[in-house]
Amino acid sequence: MKDIFMNIIVPMLVFAAVGGLFGLLLGWLSQVFAVQIDERVEKVTEMLPGYNCGACGSPGCAQFAEKVVSGEADPVLCKPGKQDMRDKIKAYLHEATKNAQNNTESKTFT
C-alpha cells in the first residue's frame, strides 16, 4: 500500500499542484500583459474592401485602418474603395471622436 501511495498518488498530486500553479500564473500574466485593441480600427477594417492589395501603401487593410484611425492616412488612398465607403469611414471616425470627447468631459466633471 505504501508503494502505491509513493509511486502513484504522490506524483499525481505533485503534477496537479504544478499544473494548478502554472494555470494561475498564466491567468494572471494574461491580465498583466493584455493588449488593448482599439475597436475603431476593427470597425474601419470592416468598412474597407478587404482586398489587401497594398495600393494604399500599406501591406493590408488592417494596417491601413490603423493609419486612418491614427490620422496618418486618408481613406482616399484606398484605390479600390468607392466614395461611399470613404464617406462612411469619415463619418464614423468623426462620430467616434465626438463620443470619445464627450465621455472624457463627463468623466472629468464627475
Distance between CA atoms of 64 and 74, rounded to whole angstroms?
A: 9
Distance between CA atoms of 75 and 82, rounded to whole angstroms?
A: 10
> For the residues 34-44, what does the mean pLDDT come to?
91
Are the C-beta atoms of residues 106 and 100 closer than 8 Å to each other? Answer: no
Tell the burial category of 109 from Cβ atoms under 10 Å away from its Cβ (0-12, 13-18, 19+).
exposed
- Asked if residue 28 has pLDDT above 80, the reply is yes
Domain boundaries, the chain: 1-34, 39-109
- Asked if residue 42 has pLDDT above 60, the reply is yes
Q: How sure is the predictor about 33, in pLDDT bands with cuts at 50, 70 and 90?
A: very high
DSSP 8-state assignment for residue 77: G
> For the residues 5-9, what does the mean pLDDT come to?
87
The DSSP-derived string for 38-68 is PHHHHHHHHHS------TTSSSSHHHHHHHH
The H-assigned helical ranges of the chain are 2-4, 10-32, 39-47, 61-70, 83-109
- Asked if residue 59 has pLDDT above 80, the reply is yes
- Assigned superfamily of 39-109: Electron transport complex subunit B, putative Fe-S cluster (1.10.15.40)
Q: Residues 86-97: pLDDT tens digits?
A: 999 999 999 988
Are the C-beta atoms of residues 48 and 64 closer than 8 Å to each other? Answer: yes
